[in-house]
Structure 1
Amino acid sequence: MTAPLRTETEAGVRSIVLTRAEEYNTITPQLRDALRGAIDDADADPDVRVILLRAEGPAFCAGYGLDWSTEMQAAEAASDRVWDSVADQRMLSTFVDVYLKLWYAAKPTIAAVQGWCIAGGTDMVLCADIVVAAENAVFGYPPARVWGTPTTAMWVYRLGFERAKRYLLTGDEIPARTAADIGLILECVPDDELLGHATALARRMARLPGNQLEMLKLLCNQTAENMGLASSRTLGTFFDGVARHTQEGRDFVRRAGEVGIRQAVRERDDPFGDYGSRTSPTAPRRS
């Protein structure tokens, strides 16, 4: 099995690199566990001042791996027990808590994004302090249409009320240039400049004393905490479980079992004409 990530350290910057390129770096329990350890190790290393999250391949992260997640829900539906919301919240929190390590790490975190960064991929990446994207990047939360809500609830804090509602109430895709213009991410750069640009920014930050970086990050993040971020993400995580167990959510899982995940997702997104609905049948699976 291919390792889900690798790490590198240079000039005070710890790079955490997602390595499941052929699977579009979709989220699995194995990736969750590896990412937890990698962020903790970087945050504890006195030689590291900045953490840079990036990915190999054509996509940064195309969401959760729908093969294992829909199979898990289908098995749950076949059991004699009704849906246990508390157990669901506990299970999903094992993922959410890892994404939030990017937010709560004492050290600054930067994400460099190319290609798809959608659904669960946005739950992860929007927890980074700064997001830089290539022009070919695409953001969005298509499960808003059925089967999910943003668990880490970072959309309003980055976009404000109306823009967050505009994109969550449609699930529409957001090209990188638009994402930068509306403030979802910091900036958009040419594809071939992404790695160099993000690395240079991380190294520039790493020139500051570590204690200065940690104080300034905490000062900025505390504003969102005071606005109620903790309660927002608790509700987002709970509602994600609810959305997967509405009649429409259960119908989506049933349909996926009948025709396959790829076709079920196409049927959800084709009326909107975005994401993989405009691409070839080899487009990534995404939650």
Structure 2
Amino acid sequence: MAATTALVTIEHRDAVAWVTMNRPKKLNALSVELMGELSAALNAAENDDTIKVVVLRGTNSVFSVGYDIAQEVEMGVSTAEQWHAGLEHNIGLSMQVWRLKKPVIAAVSGWALAGGCELAMACDMIISGEDAKFGEPEIRFGSGPVTLLMPFLIGQKATNELLYTGDVIDAARAEELGMINRVVPAADLDNAVEQLARKIALTPLSILRYTKRAITRAYDAMGLTQTVESNLDIAAVLNSADTPERTEFTKLVATEGLRAALEWRDERYGQIDV
């Protein structure tokens, strides 16, 4: 059974719900509208007792390039108060995935960047194709991580390097760091995810729910929720900071488009990227 909205596709394969972000022309950028539909799809899967496992993926060989920067510029988000309200909404989606009462598997192909990387990291497991790329490059134009999950997944030193540089890593490196579970050939991604999802779905639903609750509470005891909430306040100030780089990036988005702004950003780092 499949149901389609403008921006999200939901397909039931026995006890597994495949939830697909369906905004390929924008590389599944997380607009307000997409996030709303995705949240509703996750709620539906959570409340359906015929579903035991959720798979989250993108379209057009891209998971998601993150939050819709062009929409943020168009909305004129600038003050710390405005950023706080918007970022709280963004964090809400990631933490909805994190706290969903059923296991969520991210099937990642292509880009999983910024908010898209955070959304994948919020899933219980990540299986990626060899073509996948992960990272939070937003520091390069004066932004920063919103849902601060990375330190809990890959540790201090690797997190520091990725968040200070904005580097993007390939799937093999992400697996080496423990960010993802495994890498498979791109053509085998759906089959690998389906096999894992079906194996998990053999477990009784109540056992899956309690097991996920136990794991989530363990991370809460380590301070994950407090870290995410504390980072929200810092991220609101960070995103509203008045820097020449942020000013130029925002101007380029408004006048020449997001692609031109990203090219300008990448040119600044291109000569020193290794």
TM-score by length of 1: 0.87
Instruction: List structure 1 runs of 4+ shifted beyond 4 angstroms.
Output: none
| 8 Å contact kept, 1:130–1:185 | yes
Unaligned 5+ runs, structure 2 = none
TM-superposed CA distance for 1:125, in Å, is 1.3
Q: Distance in 2 between matches of 1:255 and 1:241?
A: 22
- Describe how 1:8-157 pairs up with structure 2 within 5 A: 8-73=11-76, 76=77, 83=79, 85-157=80-152
Pick from 186, 205, 212 the counterpart of residue 207 of structure 2: 212
Pick from 230, 253, 266 the counterpart of residue 250 of structure 2: 253
Q: CA RMSD in A?
A: 1.8
Q: What secondary structure, in the 3-state scheme, does the structure 2 residue paired with 1:26 have?
A: coil
- Per-residue CA deviations over 1:204-235 (Å, capped at 9, x if unaligned) read 10000111111211222222111111221123
1:175 maps to 2:170: yes
1:265 maps to 2:268: no
Unaligned 5+ runs, structure 1 = 78-82, 278-287
Pick from 190, 199, 203 the counterpart of residue 195 of structure 1: 190
Q: What secondary structure, in the 3-state scheme, does the structure 1 residue paired with 2:11 have?
A: strand
- Per-residue CA deviations over 1:88-132 (Å, capped at 9, x if unaligned) read 322221221112111101100100000011011112111111111
- Per-residue CA deviations over 1:116-161 (Å, capped at 9, x if unaligned) read 1101111211111111110001011111223322111110010011
1:244 maps to 2:239: yes
TM-superposed CA distance for 1:11, in Å, is 2.3
Aligned length: 266
| 8 Å contact kept, 1:244–1:250 | no
| 8 Å contact kept, 2:130–2:185 | yes
Q: Which has the higher contact order (CA 8 A, sep 6+)?
A: 1
- Per-residue CA deviations over 1:26-85 (Å, capped at 9, x if unaligned) read 111111110111111101101011111112202110112222112223xx56xxxxx2x3
| 8 Å contact kept, 1:150–1:237 | no
Give me the identity figure in percent: 27
| 8 Å contact kept, 2:129–2:185 | yes
Q: Distance in 2 between matches of 1:261 and 1:91?
A: 19
TM-score by length of 2: 0.91
TM-superposed CA distance for 1:87, in Å, is 4.0
- Give the residue type in structure 2 aligned to 1:150: P
Q: What secondary structure, in the 3-state scheme, does the structure 2 residue paired with 1:47 have?
A: coil
Q: Distance in 2 between matches of 1:168 and 1:44?
A: 36
- Per-residue CA deviations over 1:142-192 (Å, capped at 9, x if unaligned) read 112233221111100100111111111111011011101111111111000
- Give the residue type in structure 2 aligned to 1:47: T
Q: Cα gap change, 1:240/1:266 in structure 2, threshold over 3 Å: closer, same or farther?
A: farther
